[in-house]
Structure 1
Amino acid sequence: MPKDFIVAIELGSSKMTGIAGKKNLDGSIQVLACIKEDSSSCIRKGVVYNIDKTAQCLTNIINKMEGQLKTTITQVYVGVGGQSIRSIRNVISKDMNIETPISQEMVIELMDANRNMKYPDQEILDAAVQEYKVDSQYQLDPVGIPCSHIEGNFLNILQRKTFYKNLNSCFEAANINVAEMYLAPLALADSVLTETERRSGCALVDMGADTTTVSVYSKNVLRHLAVIPLGSNNITKDIASLQMEETDAEKMKLKYASAYTDNAEIDNNLKYSIDQDRQIEARKFIEIVEGRLEEIIANVWCQVPEEYCDKLLGGIILTGGGSNMKDIEKAFQNYTHIDKIRIAKFVTQTITSTLSDINAHDGKLNTVLGLLAKGDINCAGDEFDPNGNLFATPKQQQTETFTERRARQAVETPAGVVRTVDEIRRADEEARRQKDEEDRIAREKAEAEERERQRIKKENSIWNKMFKGLKSFGEKVISDEE
């Protein structure tokens, strides 16, 4: 097996997926291993709620991958997504006394001020720059433009602090090093959207098991991001309300469900078999499926900001397992009146593999493949020893690597990268150290200035002038006598 490969993990509501791949010189990626674990008992709506069980699933994935790769895994790339992730707009402004050319330092100051915003019980995962308002003109790059007022327009992506901490905690509990955390919706967008779609305006809809993620792009900039707590499992549960087990309901959904059926084409006498003894009317089944799906589509469309509803020239791009439902494009067209609907069955990168899950091209692995494409640090360690301590050597090696990596400030973090709890802690410590140093320098400067003021004050005092006058007179008298 190759001694250099990338490992990415996606924590989904129905399954947790680990994938390992080698990046080739021509830019293609060879997938070497893909492991899935049932996560329905520890992850809900895309977020961790049982840390211990999630840690066990992660450990199982790592162990199985190391067994297949015959190599230990030192670190992994992780996708951050799920319920409670949302975007909120924010404006930071700065006034200058006189017209001044905008410097890079001024822009960084605005970005820092934005990232230091506090939201109750929320953590800022990322901040997307929308544009800058320089006096009355909007600019993407304001550096060098003279003005007396500048505003930075940002899109802050938030998640509840509890969910964010739980995600970090489960990797710590599993003793797995995190090379980088990425916002899963952004990694997905980079791998399935074309530049034309992002530039001309589009909505990316990732239809998962428990959640549906909506990302709106225009002029190559993320304009809105939201996670809806509805997914294809909701359709399964609705079908199960017809007095059947969810496993049977899932099978019926996969076999019979269609996102759109013309009323004239419905046979009122047709019945679908639940098992050997029971059947349900086709019309009732269709109404249940379409009713829930219409609710999901309505919530998706509500997440598209009003100013972009008529500007989606790139159309709507569907992906994820839920996008495989028959006639899903027609259902979206009927509700949104957007004719341009594309289903992204696979990522845009060149992927090679002998694994059937990868070659299925059904959109289910697009996010984890997008995370894999983001990786640029080797995750391979020593030769795998099935009887040894699985994490002892890699942990020690990676701790040294982490120690060498400087704690990045928020403004230095690349787009889509989510700082870990440890990175935030170290960055805060570094910021406090710098502030303490700045305060010390300022204090010493102030003390020196105060001493200088006292010296000047003393020299200009009446008694000092009288003393100098007497001294000068005495020196003159002595000089005359000589």
Structure 2
Amino acid sequence: MNKGVIVGIDIGSTKICAVAGIMDHIGKVKILDMVEEPTQRGRVSNGTVVNLEFTARDIDRILTKLSDKADINIQNVIVNISGEYVEGKTHQNFITRNDSRTTIRKEEIEKLAVDIRKSFRPTAGNVIIHTFPQEFIIDRSLVPENPIGRFGVTLGGNFFLISTPNDPHIALQQTIESVGVKIQDNKRFIPLKIVHTLFSPLADAMSVLSEVDKKLGVAVVNVGGDTTEVAIFHESGLRHISVIPFAGKSITNDLVKAFQILPDHAEKLKLIMGDVPPDEVGKNDIIKIPGVEGLPDKEIVAKNVSIIIEERLKEIAAMAMAEIIHSGYDGQLISGVVLTGGTANIRMIKDVFDQVTNGMNIRVGNTVRNIGESSLSKIVDPKYATVVGLVLSGFLPLDERVPQEVIWGEIPESQIPSPTNGFEGRNVGRHKEVEVPQPEESQQSGGILGWLKRQMQAGKSDLGDDKGYT
């Protein structure tokens, strides 16, 4: 993986944020700088990009600012995947080893993972974006750790596969790839390179969870603008994901409807009164909202505002708890629930989740891990957990038991048949002409082997993957 500058881009319904990072000399990720802007209305809905052209312009402007602030060239980016139709399912498969007298090798684990992706059928119209190991099975014995070096006749595994609707996925890629990068004094114009995409709560997990958390059992709950996303880990494996279509904007909309006020005023009310539980608000406390278009000022009972916020938070917490119960891991998450996302900054949210989850360990994800030097104190804010995690995923493994290509859906080099095995000149599943790269281009892209790998990846639709993802 490229160890130069990596930029994470969090495209959300309330903000678009870009963070640049680089690996320092002691193996920590150094955050170079950050730029964020509010998401304009009509750009993103429920975590999905709905206006490609204008979102691309916003990203171009944000990256230009980031490039100038950090004095860097930007080419490699990692982008979050979100949306209420993201799905996750467990799938199992086995391979019979050719020689049980030798120990299990990395290539065999890679073959197992490729076979699992190939045999899995996502919901119609969906494309697989992640393949995470849960545990391996060697001759009917569960092995949660890395099986390399063990003996066995059969090697199997339970893997958790995440898929998303293909059309929004392609739209996201096209949005990013339509943004050009100006480098070397604007003398060269190249497209951004998407290193990979990552489901938002998994990015959060990169920045706020420890390996101990995942081992003991933990739920990451990202309460964002349009959606609340849940990811559950247990025994180091990803076990369950869910996207709930209610979050911070639901609270804002409740206040708009209840008091007949503008969304901007409702948002400010939420930020102010979200820090004060109803039992701490005086019965006679009044909040005055400025009138608009010549209308008189409006007076609102502060306690009513606090009650509305608390009740909606209870509903969100109850739906998150329902997902924990549905996953089958209720009572097994020793590390409890870690809250991230902008709505996690509402002070009463921790107490609300504590009540609804019957005393589970609840904490706000404001402890960023694996970050070295940074001049930005605000990166510990839980609303930046996703974008910081995106940067971290460019340098650190999401799961050390398998090669990272397996998780991103790429075919590891060991599983690519050589041209002498009948693959020379083939373009599996797709019909297009390709150009053999010139020497300079080959050097930049990893030589002729890198070029061959990309052409084969472009045609691997039989694996359930999507062209352009890898």
The TM-score by the shorter chain falls in which range?
A: 0.7 to 0.9
Q: Which moved more, 1:15-24 or 1:114-123?
A: 15-24
Please say which structure displays the higher CA radius of gyration: 1
When residues 112 and 373 of structure 1 are mapped into structure 2, their CA distance, relative to the original with a 3 A threshold, is closer
1:128 aligns with 2:132: yes
In structure 2, the gaps of 5 or more residues are: 181-190, 292-296, 397-438, 463-470
2-structure distance, mates of 1:251, 1:217: 35
1-structure distance, mates of 2:202, 2:14: 21
Conservation of the 8 A alpha-carbon contact between 1:259 and 1:290? no
- The corresponding residue for 2:52 is 51
Conservation of the 8 A alpha-carbon contact between 1:213 and 1:225? yes
1:282 aligns with 2:297: no
| Amino-acid identity (%) | 27
TM-score (normalised: structure 1) = 0.72
2-structure distance, mates of 1:270, 1:398: 68
Shift of the alpha carbon at 1:28? 4.1
- The corresponding residue for 1:477 is none
- The corresponding residue for 1:233 is 249
When residues 290 and 405 of structure 1 are mapped into structure 2, their CA distance, relative to the original with a 3 A threshold, is farther
TM-score (normalised: structure 2) = 0.74
In structure 1, what residue type is equivalent to 2:314? Answer: E
Shift of the alpha carbon at 1:431? 9.3
Deviations 1:284-326 (A, max 9, x none): 3233212211111111112224431101111111122111111
When residues 354 and 113 of structure 1 are mapped into structure 2, their CA distance, relative to the original with a 3 A threshold, is closer
Question: Helix, strand or coil: the match of 2:283?
Answer: coil
2-structure distance, mates of 1:233, 1:244: 14
Shift of the alpha carbon at 1:258? 4.3
2-structure distance, mates of 1:317, 1:408: 42
- The corresponding residue for 2:385 is 366
Deviations 1:312-365 (A, max 9, x none): 11111112211111122211111011341111214123354445xx43632121
1:298 aligns with 2:302: no
1:332 aligns with 2:353: yes
1:247 aligns with 2:264: yes
1-structure distance, mates of 2:262, 2:443: 51
Aligned residues: 394
Richer in helix (by share)? 1
Conservation of the 8 A alpha-carbon contact between 1:260 and 1:328? no
In structure 1, the gaps of 5 or more residues are: 378-395, 410-421, 433-482
1-structure distance, mates of 2:192, 2:95: 40
Conservation of the 8 A alpha-carbon contact between 2:219 and 2:337? yes
Match of 1:312 among 322, 326, 333: 333
Conservation of the 8 A alpha-carbon contact between 1:259 and 1:330? no
1-structure distance, mates of 2:353, 2:461: 48
When residues 259 and 330 of structure 1 are mapped into structure 2, their CA distance, relative to the original with a 3 A threshold, is farther
Q: Which moved more, 1:203-212 or 1:101-110?
A: 101-110
2-structure distance, mates of 1:339, 1:408: 51
When residues 299 and 327 of structure 1 are mapped into structure 2, their CA distance, relative to the original with a 3 A threshold, is same
When residues 431 and 224 of structure 1 are mapped into structure 2, their CA distance, relative to the original with a 3 A threshold, is closer
- The corresponding residue for 1:163 is 168
Question: Helix, strand or coil: the match of 1:73?
Answer: coil
1:220 aligns with 2:236: yes
Match of 1:197 among 205, 213, 226: 213
1:76 aligns with 2:77: yes
- The corresponding residue for 2:31 is 31
Deviations 1:248-288 (A, max 9, x none): 000111111248544xx554333332237212223432332
When residues 189 and 108 of structure 1 are mapped into structure 2, their CA distance, relative to the original with a 3 A threshold, is same
Deviations 1:448-469 (A, max 9, x none): xxxxxxxxxxxxxxxxxxxxxx
Shift of the alpha carbon at 1:98? 13
Shift of the alpha carbon at 1:247? 0.2
Q: How does 1:400-419 map to 2 (within 5 A)?
A: 401-402=444-445, 404=447
When residues 84 and 398 of structure 1 are mapped into structure 2, their CA distance, relative to the original with a 3 A threshold, is farther
Deviations 1:153-188 (A, max 9, x none): 221111111111111111222233224114132232
Q: Which moved more, 1:277-286 or 1:135-144?
A: 135-144
- The corresponding residue for 2:288 is 273
In structure 1, what residue type is equivalent to 2:163? Answer: L
Shift of the alpha carbon at 1:223? 1.1
